[in-house]
C-alpha cells in the first residue's frame, strides 16, 4: 500500500514557494494548485494545473493553504465540505505541531519558516510600534500625536448641532499620495487634490475624522492591533504627520467601526444604539454604491422617518462625481444625507455641507452591524452586499428575498451608472 501523500496547494502567490521548500521529497506528490483566480493561469504554474476548488479530484490527502492571511480561504474550504482533517494551514503554528501533518511536510523546515514569518509579521512590527503605544499614556514631547476626540463626542455634535462628518482612512491617505491601496477606487490627480482640500477644510459644522490608531492600541483585538502595526510603518506614519495639522482637533473615524475591531464586544449594542440617534425621526437619503444596500435585510434604519436612495457606481465612483453631486443637490435640505461611497464620499460630504446640507460619511457601518447581528468575531461575507475587506467580497449575488427587494427598489430615487 502506497504511503505517498497527495496534496494540493491553495494559492499561487509567494507563499506557495515557501510551502514547496518544506514538502517531503519522495513522500509527497504535489497534484496541482487551487486558486480562486484559476482562469488567469490557463497555462498552469510550475508545470502544474491551477484549478478552481470545484474542479479538483477527490483523490488527495491534504489541501495546504499557502496564503498567509488564511481565514477567508479556510472558511471557503469548510463551506465547500472539505473536512478540517484534510486542511493544513501552513502559516498557523498550531498546525506545525500536529504530527499527522509531518507525513506531508518536513517538521523542522516547516516550523522554522513559520517562526521566521511570525517574527517578520508580528514581533518586528510590534517592536517597531511599541514606543508609540507606550508613549501615548505619557505624551512626551519627542512623540507627536494628533488630537482625536472619541466617537461619542462626534455623535453628540452630529445629533445636537446637525454637524456633518467626513472620515479619512488608509485608503484616502494613500490616494492623497497617489498610491493605490483601495481596490474599488483608482488613483486620480484631481481626486488626490480634492481629498487634501477636504482634509484641511475649515468649514463651520464639518467634523473631520481620522482613525485613532497613532498611540495606544489597547482597545483593539489582537488581530486588529497587528493589522495597524503592519500598516503604520515609520514611513507611513511620517506621511500621515506630513498631511495632518497637529494643532487641529479631529474626531475618531472609527466611530463607524463599532464592532469587529474592538476588544469590548459586550458594549457593541450600546455603540450601535448611540449611532442610531443620528437618523432617529429623520427623513434620510442614502447615497451608496450599487452593491452596498445599507440597511437592507436588517433593522438599522427602522427608527428613521423615511429612507430613500441614490445609487452610484460601486467602484471608481469619482468618475461620475459631477452627476452624483448634481443629483444630491436636488434633495430637500431638511433631509439627512448618509453616504457610503469610498473616497468619493469625503468630497461629496464636504460639498454638500458647504451647500447647506447635513451629510454624514457613514462608511461600512451597515456591514459592521451585520457582523454584530451574526455574532461573528472575524470579517465575513454578507449575502447580497459588497464587503471589500474579505476575499471575493466584491462578488455579490442578487439573491434578496422578494419582499426585501421590493422595499429596496421602491426606495431608489435615481441610479447613476458606471
CA–CA separation, 262 vs 256, rounded Å?
Answer: 12
For domain 5-107, the CATH architecture is 3-Layer(aba) Sandwich (3.40)
Give burial (CB, 10 Å; 0-12/13-18/19+) of 189: exposed
In this prediction, residue 1 carries a pLDDT of 44
| Cell digits of residue 289 | 454604491
In this prediction, residue 68 carries a pLDDT of 84
Is residue 50 within 8 Å of residue 16, measured between CB atoms?
Answer: no
CA–CA separation, 82 vs 223, rounded Å?
Answer: 25
Model confidence pLDDT, tens digit, residues 250-283: 999 999 999 999 999 999 999 999 999 999 999 9
Q: Which are the contacts of 235, defined by CB distance < 8 A and separation ≥ 6?
A: none
Model confidence pLDDT, tens digit, residues 325-380: 999 999 999 999 999 999 999 999 999 999 999 999 999 999 999 999 999 888 88
Write out the DSSP string of 151-169.
HHHHHHHHHHS--EEEEE-
pLDDT bracket for residue 124 (50, 70, 90): confident
Q: Half-sphere exposure (CA, 13 Å, Cβ side) for 41?
A: 19
Domain ranges of the chain: 5-107, 151-212+244-415
In this prediction, residue 181 carries a pLDDT of 66
Write out the DSSP string of 245-256.
-TTSEEEEGGGG
- Tell me the percentage of the chain whose pLDDT exceeds 90: 73
Bridge partner residues of 335 (DSSP): none
Is residue 416 within 8 Å of residue 348, measured between CB atoms?
Answer: no
| Position 27 pLDDT exceeds 80 | yes
Model confidence pLDDT, tens digit, residues 37-93: 888 888 899 999 999 999 998 899 999 999 988 888 999 999 999 999 999 999 998
CA distances from 367 to 38, 182, 256, 344, 383 (A): 28, 17, 10, 19, 11
- From the list 337, 288, 292, the residue with the least C-alpha distance to 317 is 288
Q: How many residues does the chain have?
A: 418
Instruction: Answer with the residue of higher pLDDT: 415 or 41.
Output: 415
CA–CA separation, 366 vs 338, rounded Å?
Answer: 11
| Cell digits of residue 39 | 482562469
Amino acid at each position: 500500500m502506497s504511503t505517498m501523500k497527495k496534496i494540493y496547494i491553495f494559492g499561487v502567490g509567494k507563499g506557495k514557494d515557501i510551502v514547496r521548500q518544506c514538502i517531503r521529497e519522495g513522500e509527497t506528490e504535489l497534484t496541482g494548485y487551487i486558486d480562486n483566480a484559476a482562469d488567469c493561469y490557463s497555462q498552469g504554474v510550475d508545470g502544474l494545473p491551477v484549478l478552481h476548488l470545484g474542479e479538483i479530484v477527490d483523490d488527495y490527502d491534504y489541501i495546504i493553504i499557502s496564503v498567509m492571511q488564511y481565514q477567508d480561504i479556510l472558511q471557503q474550504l469548510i463551506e465547500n465540505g472539505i473536512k478540517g482533517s484534510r486542511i493544513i494551514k501552513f502559516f498557523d503554528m498550531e498546525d506545525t505541531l500536529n504530527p499527522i501533518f509531518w507525513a506531508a511536510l518536513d517538521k523542522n523546515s516547516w516550523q522554522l519558516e513559520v517562526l521566521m514569518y511570525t517574527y517578520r509579521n508580528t514581533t518586528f512590527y510590534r517592536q517597531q510600534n511599541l514606543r508609540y503605544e507606550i508613549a501615548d499614556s505619557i505624551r512626551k514631547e519627542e512623540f507627536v500625536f494628533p488630537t482625536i476626540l472619541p466617537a461619542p463626542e462626534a455623535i453628540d455634535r452630529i445629533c445636537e448641532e446637525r454637524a456633518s462628518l467626513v472620515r479619512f482612512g488608509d485608503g484616502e491617505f494613500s490616494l492623497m499620495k497617489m498610491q493605490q491601496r483601495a481596490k474599488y477606487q483608482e488613483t486620480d490627480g484631481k481626486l488626490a487634490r480634492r481629498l487634501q482640500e477636504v482634509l484641511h477644510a475649515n468649514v463651520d459644522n464639518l467634523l473631520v475624522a481620522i482613525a485613532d490608531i497613532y498611540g495606544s492600541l489597547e482597545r483593539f483585538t489582537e488581530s486588529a492591533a497587528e493589522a495597524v502595526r503592519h500598516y503604520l510603518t515609520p514611513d507611513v506614519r511620517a506621511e500621515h504627520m506630513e498631511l495632518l495639522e497637529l494643532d487641529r482637533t479631529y474626531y475618531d473615524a472609527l466611530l463607524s467601526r463599532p464592532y469587529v475591531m474592538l476588544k469590548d464586544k459586550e458594549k457593541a449594542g450600546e455603540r450601535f444604539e448611540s449611532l442610531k440617534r443620528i437618523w432617529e425621526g429623520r427623513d434620510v437619503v442614502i447615497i451608496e454604491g450599487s452593491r452596498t444596500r445599507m440597511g437592507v435585510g436588517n433593522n438599522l434604519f427602522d427608527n428613521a422617518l423615511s429612507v430613500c436612495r441614490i445609487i452610484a457606481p460601486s467602484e471608481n465612483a469619482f468618475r461620475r462625481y459631477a452627476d452624483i453631486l448634481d443629483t444630491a443637490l436636488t434633495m430637500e435640505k431638511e433631509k439627512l444625507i448618509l453616504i457610503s461611497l469610498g473616497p468619493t464620499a469625503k468630497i461629496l460630504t464636504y460639498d454638500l455641507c458647504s451647500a447647506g446640507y447635513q451629510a454624514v460619511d457613514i462608511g461600512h457601518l451597515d456591514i459592521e452591524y451585520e457582523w454584530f447581528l451574526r455574532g461573528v468575531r472575524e470579517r465575513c461575507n454578507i449575502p447580497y452586499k459588497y464587503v471589500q475587506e474579505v476575499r471575493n467580497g466584491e462578488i455579490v449575488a442578487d439573491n434578496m428575498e422578494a419582499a426585501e427587494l421590493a422595499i429596496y427598489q421602491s426606495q431608489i430615487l435615481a441610479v447613476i451608472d458606471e
